[in-house]
Structure formats: C-alpha cells, structure tokens
Chain A
Amino acid sequence: MSALERLAKMDRRVMYWAMLLLIALPYAVPLGLPMQISTYSTEFKTTIDALAPGDVVLVSMDIGLGSVSELGGGIIALAKQLSAQGVKVVAVSTVAEGSLVFDQYFRPVLTSAGYGYGVDYVNLGYAAGDETMIASIAENMREVYSRDYAGNDAASLPLLQAADDYSAYRLVVTFDAGTATGFYARQWQAKYGTPVLSVPTAVNFSYFYPLYQAGSVEAILNGPRGCAEYEQLIGAPGLANQGIDALSMGQLVVIAFIVLGNVAFVGERLRRRKQ
C-alpha cells in the first residue's frame, strides 16, 4: 500500500485524537498571539458605552448550556460592562436552558457588583412560543410573565413595574444560537425602532450579517472571536481569550486535513490517469 493510499484510508479516530490533543496544547502552553479588533466588536462596545446609569436593557438568553463554550466569555463581559455603567437588566429566554445560562454566568457578575434583585435586575426565565413570545413581551411583559424565574409575583418587582413594555427598554441584546436575532429585528426593531444587538454563535453570524449590514441589527459580535475581542475592549480578558489559541489550533487542524484530503484525492486521480 502506497503512502497516499494509507493516507486516504486513515482511521477517523486518528484525526479525532490529533484534534483533541492539538486543541488541548495551548491550554498547557499558551501562544498569546496578538489579535486585531474588528469594527463589529468596537461598534458593539460603543453602543453599550452610550447607555446611561438607570437605563434598562433586555437581555435575551437564547442559547443552551452547550453554547456557553462559545459565547460564555461574551456573556460575562456584557454583564461586567453593563454593571460598571449602572445599567438595569431584565432577562428573558426563548430557550429552556437559557434561564440556567443567565443564572450560572450573568447573575454572579451582577450580584458581585452589588446589584439588587427586583430593583436593578430581574430574571424572568423561559417562556414558550419563540417569535410569538418575543412579539408579546414587547407589548405587555407582565401578561406573558405573571411570575419571574424564582416564582415571585412580577407585579411586586419594582423594575418590572417600570419596564413593562418596549418603551422602557433602550436596547435588546440577544445571545443567540438559533433564530432569535431575526425575531427581535422583526418584532422590536422593525415595529418599535428598539435597537437590537446580537451575540450569535459563529455559524449564525453569517445568517445575521445581512441584517446587521442593513441596519436591522445595530451591532453584532462574530461568535467566540467577537467575544474575545469584546473582552479585550472592556479590558477584562476572560473565558473567550483563554480559548482563542485553542480555537486557532482547531481551525488549523481542519485546514490541514482539507489539504491532506485534497493531496490524497489528487494523488489518486494522477495514479488512475497513469493506469
């Protein structure tokens, strides 16, 4: 068997182990390469910068726990920037695990910044209905959420008394592994003009890029890379920056296997042509 044939018949597990080990390497020996900041991330940060203390922001956690590997850094960074500016937060979710993500990653930053529950932030949790829910909370939040995530009466929460519909919110930020960015753009931005900021997974960045380019989405972060840039912009490198070298290695491995696959393919073609 020639080298090319052996290459073409490589066991998939060899590739998987190579992937895992090369991705793990930068966690043991960090590369620490510099990273240019994109205009998307700068715009995202400056849009948040423009908020004043006391402004209310709707944070929509439209991701499951699995997507935290990708957007966790961005979640913590946003919580840090909003709490540093004294911005109030109302959290909702169109995904069942979204409220868990808020509780595990966003809330600890707010509480350590001295935020008071019900006054400075509220977690309303999950509500079914996707786009229907997003359209409804714009009109009457307490009708959809008569109780918050912890089971408190929503009417008893001072923040929700003041922020019961779209008019009270300066902007919406959605952490999105699905289609929520499009839903918010359709139901909040198009109808009421509320700016929508999106932190999508990298794959969804492509879907939502035309919305951002057309102005339906005010600012956008490019998945984990965008989150790493945003962390740097607010001066708090964290989860996303820790993972960016490993991400580089992983993508290098994919490119290397694309090249190897094509070498094997071309070699096989040449061999057949000779025969």
Chain B
Amino acid sequence: MIPALESWVAIGLTVAVLSYVLYRENPAYRMAEALFVGISLGNVVVMAVRSLQSSGMNPLLGGNLTLAIPVALGLLLFTVYSKRLGKLSQWPVAVMSGVGVGLAIRGAAHTYIYDQIKASMQPVIIWGDPMATLNAVLVLAGVVSTLTYFLFTVEGGAGGARVKTTGRYFMMLFFGAMFGQVAMTRITYITGRAQLLVQFLTSLLT
C-alpha cells in the first residue's frame, strides 16, 4: 500500500532530523532545523497575537478603556532598541515581574512551605508497625538533613557536618531517582519516532 502524502512528509522530516545523531550534520538536517525553528516561532506568534486580541485589544476596542494602559506599557517594551528611550522598556518589565513575584510569594508560602511542613509533621514512632516507623524516620531525616545542608550561615561543628553529609546522601538518592525519570521522558520521544518508522515500513511492505 502506498502511504499518504502526510506520511511521506512526516517520515522525510523525521529521517532528516535523526540523520544528525545517527550520521552527522548535513544539509537535510539543517533545512529541517530551520523549518522547525521557523514554524515553532510562527506558531508562538500566532498564539500570542490571538491571546493579545482576546484579553487586550478586543475588550479595549469594545470600550474598556483602562486596558489602554497595559497596551501602552506593552508597546513600551519595543523601546529597548532605542538608545535614548531604552530605559522605558523597564517599566512594563517591572509590572510583569512585580505581579509574578507577588503571585509566587503568596502561593509558595502556602503550597511549598506550609503544606510541605505539615506533611512532614507526622508521628515518627508507630507502635506495632516497625516498617511504618522506619519510613517516617527516613522521611523526617531526609527533610531535616537536606534543609540543614542549605544552612550556609551556621557551621554546627562535627555533628552539623555529619547531618549535612547525610543530607547530601539523601539528595543524591533524589538526583538518582530524577535521572531514572528523565531517562523515561526522553526515551519516549524516541519510541514515538521508532513507531512511526516501523508503521511506515510495514505499510510499504504490505
């Protein structure tokens, strides 16, 4: 069976990109790379313009005149190219970063600190269940020693150094677990391409 045009396009582009790792840099790869960068960027711009229209321009043109302020601030970003007016581009950046930091602070305090400490404050000794006791001790030891590792202002003597070393071991365990997860993420990208190649070859042969 002859595959459809779309399959040929997908296979051609996939082979062109993979040729970089499986062979070496070549014109087919560079062409595919240029296409990828161009279309990705084009798509980002299309979506950004639609987002701007949806949340800014349409309501502004519909009579919500207060939105003229953020639109004007947004346009000020483009003064970054001007030597004389370049500093004006910092004003909209200040609004964005101010709002972003404000949101991050209020959320982080609740979710990343309060909730995390609450979840750590569990009974450590669970009578009649040695495994649960071991688990609780391990989690608490991991949290406390890792946090101690980041206490740069306190030396803590030999005992403190031992706690920090323990914290380092706990972090290494976490990094190892992370690497295992990273491998899973990245391998799935290859599995998707391998599936496409096998399906294409199968369709050619049947």
> Which A residues lie at the B interface, using CB under 8 A?
13, 16-17, 19-20, 23-24, 27-28, 66, 68-70, 96-97, 99-100, 125-128, 130-132, 135, 143-147, 149, 151, 154, 182-183, 185-187, 189-191, 201-203, 205-206, 210-211, 213-216, 223-225, 242-243, 246-247, 250-251, 254
Question: Which of B1-9, B40-48, B80-88, B124-132 is found at the contact surface with chain A?
Answer: B40-48
Looking across the interface, which residue of chain A has its beta carbon closest to that of B110?
A190
Chain A hits for B103, CB < 8 A: 131-132, 135, 186-187
Chain A hits for B191, CB < 8 A: 23, 69, 243, 246-247, 250
Are A128's CB and B22's CB within 8 A? no
Are B111's CB and A186's CB within 8 A? yes
Question: Which of B27-35, B52-60, B147-155, B158-166 is found at the contact surface with chain A?
Answer: B52-60
Are A147's CB and B181's CB within 8 A? no
Are A96's CB and B48's CB within 8 A? yes
- Specify which of B46, B54, B112, B183 is in contact with A145 (CB 8 Å cutoff): B54
Looking across the interface, which residue of chain B has its beta carbon closest to that of A253?
B187
Chain A hits for B108, CB < 8 A: 186
Looking across the interface, which residue of chain A has its beta carbon closest to that of B118?
A214
Are B51's CB and A223's CB within 8 A? no
B188 to chain A, nearest CB (A): 4
- Specify which of A96, A144, A254 is in contact with B55 (CB 8 Å cutoff): A144
- Specify which of B100, B119, B188 is in contact with A247 (CB 8 Å cutoff): B188
Q: Known interface pairs A186-B108, A216-B111. Does A132 touch B185 (Cβ–Cβ under 8 Å)? A: no
- Specify which of B21, B53, B178, B183 is in contact with A254 (CB 8 Å cutoff): B183
Q: Known interface pairs A19-B190, A69-B188, A243-B188. Does A190 touch B111 (Cβ–Cβ under 8 Å)? A: yes
- Specify which of B47, B107, B182, B195 is in contact with A99 (CB 8 Å cutoff): B47
Residue among B21, B54, B178, B197 with most chain A CB within 10 A = B54
> Which B residues lie at the A interface, using CB under 8 A?
18, 21-23, 40, 43-44, 46-48, 50-55, 58-59, 62, 96, 99-100, 103-104, 106-108, 110-112, 115-116, 118-119, 174, 177-178, 181-185, 187-195, 197-199, 202
Are A127's CB and B55's CB within 8 A? yes
Classify the secondary structure of A's interface with B. Answer: helix
Residue among B21, B48, B116, B187 with most chain A CB within 10 A = B187
Are B197's CB and A96's CB within 8 A? no
Looking across the interface, which residue of chain B has its beta carbon closest to that of A22?
B194
Chain B hits for A128, CB < 8 A: 48, 51-52
Are B181's CB and A206's CB within 8 A? yes
Chain A hits for B118, CB < 8 A: 214
- Nearest first, the 4 closest Cβ-Cβ pairs linking A and B are A186-B107, A69-B192, A250-B187, A214-B119
Are B47's CB and A203's CB within 8 A? no
Q: A132-B103, A187-B107 are in contact. List 15 more A-B contacts (CB 8 A).
A: A16-B21, A24-B194, A66-B189, A70-B185, A96-B48, A97-B40, A132-B96, A154-B54, A186-B104, A202-B188, A223-B188, A225-B184, A243-B188, A246-B194, A250-B191
A189 to chain B, nearest CB (A): 7
Looking across the interface, which residue of chain B has its beta carbon closest to that of A95?
B47
Chain A hits for B104, CB < 8 A: 131, 186
